Amino acid sequence: MPSPQAATTTLALFCKVVDNYGDIGICWRLARQLHKEHQIDVQLWVDDLISFQRICPEVATNLETQILDGIRIQYWQNQDASFTPAEIADIVIEFFACDIPPGYIASMAQCERPPVWINLEGLSAEAWVEGCHTLPSPHPSFSLTKYFFFPGFNAKTGGLIHERTLDQERRDFLTNPSNNLQTKAQFFEQLGVLPAEISSLKVSLFCYPHAPVAALFAAWSSQEKPILCLVPDGVVTEAIQNFLGETPTVGNHYSRGALTVRIIPFMPQADYDKLLWSCDLNFVRGEDSFVRAQWAAKAFIWHIYPQDENLHHKKLNAFLQTHLATTHSSKTLSLAWNEVHTGDNWQDLWSNMSKDLATIEIQSQGWLEQMNANGDLASNLLSFVNTKR
């Protein structure tokens, strides 16, 4: 007689969108990996379906509940909603201390077997993270404990989001071993990149509106070798318009000296990964694209999410000191891009950085191997959860 099948583990992941695409980007990748690779029944609560739709076009913005890729997506709009213990998941994750509904917490306490409750924190290379990773936080009113779980860059933290097939998908895309797979050339053609532009230095640009785009563009325009900058629709539109003197639109390209700026559609996550793999240099922002740039094993410049009292500068410096593929030139450009200091000579910044691109790409392979050795965030998270059940 066959043994009964074990009940599926359920997980509720709560996400409040603060940084338009970073928060939901992280949560969506994590939800899909937990479901696909670990057979977890995931319900994703999110309060901004419009931002969600930008990275996942299949999302319907007019539905309270929908299922995509096996994930139950719940539009989170009522903080005062009530719940029964039967509605509570086995694992509850709140992303970045987003304050899940009090009614949900109250019902968690009523469960015969309370769920494992995780506060999934933001990514940082700062040393204090290691001491706070997996620390318990007892609830002041209920017999519940929440655990802090930190992504990170070493074995003393939770690691980074990384799907099992990601590295092979990147290799397949770049080397094209099968005619059934899309090639890099076909991908660029899909974006409207002209054959004459393929030989240019290719850069993707994803940053916050306050980035010093004009200074960077001016430096690129005066170069001898051509540079193609691919910018997703809606990113730093005002800065690009001010530099070009005209409103940028999707599908069009604009040239100033050696620089060609091409406006591309805002991409679903899978296509954005391909963009990072295809370019020689990637400017990324926040957390989700920042992590994906590292798995691309290419040179990148991080535009960090701004915080009060410039606390983000400490976070930036902590990463630059940790990252194996950071050269003096990339560090200097990163600090200037994040306006840690001003009055920089952007011609010199770019000249020095461009000379190091090949070296950085080689060093990035070593960084990728080191990050893989730490294990991936989803697996490490579930391993911790299992110690608390």
- Tell me the per-residue pLDDT of 284-303, one tens digit each, with 9 for 90 and over: 999 999 999 999 999 999 99
Same domain assignment for residues 99 and 142: yes
**Does any domain span residue 278?**
yes
Same domain assignment for residues 101 and 177: no
- Tell me the per-residue pLDDT of 341-376, one tens digit each, with 9 for 90 and over: 877 899 999 999 999 999 999 999 999 999 999 999
Same domain assignment for residues 155 and 184: no
**Does any domain span residue 1?**
no
Same domain assignment for residues 148 and 181: no
CA torsion sign for 285, 290, 292, 297 is positive
Per-residue model confidence (pLDDT) at position 312: 93
Same domain assignment for residues 205 and 350: yes
**Does any domain span residue 5?**
no
**Does any domain span residue 97?**
yes
Contact indicator for 96, 23 with CB cutoff of 8 Å: yes
Same domain assignment for residues 155 and 174: no
Token pair 């591309």 in the structure block, residue? 264
Same domain assignment for residues 181 and 145: no
Q: Give the CATH number for residue 82.
A: 3.40.50
**Residue range(s) defining the domain that contains residue 329:** 166-373
Q: Give the CATH number for residue 185.
A: 3.40.50.2000
In the chain, DSSP finds a helix count (H) and a strand count (E) of 15, 14
Active site positions, annotated = 23, 287
Same domain assignment for residues 38 and 120: yes
Residues 352-366 as b/e (b if ≥16 CB within 10 A, e otherwise) read: ebbebbeebbebbee
Residue 3 has pLDDT above 60, yes or no: no
Residue 103 has pLDDT above 50, yes or no: yes
- Tell me the per-residue pLDDT of 51-90, one tens digit each, with 9 for 90 and over: 999 999 999 999 999 999 999 999 999 999 999 999 999 9
**Range of weakest confidence among 35-39, 115-119, 176-180, 226-230:** 176-180
Per-residue model confidence (pLDDT) at position 45: 98
Same domain assignment for residues 149 and 227: no
Which phi and psi (to 5°) does residue 328 adopt?
Answer: -60, -40
Same domain assignment for residues 197 and 128: no
pLDDT level of residue 2 (50, 70, 90 thresholds) = very low
Work out how many domains the chain is built from and give that number.
2
How many beta carbons lie within 10 A of that of residue 380, not counting itself? Answer: 19
Same domain assignment for residues 156 and 173: no
User: Residue 334 contacts by C-beta under 8 Å, 6 or more apart in sequence?
Assistant: 301, 302, 316, 320, 326
**pTM for this one?**
0.95
Same domain assignment for residues 138 and 211: no
**Does any domain span residue 2?**
no
Per-residue model confidence (pLDDT) at position 343: 79
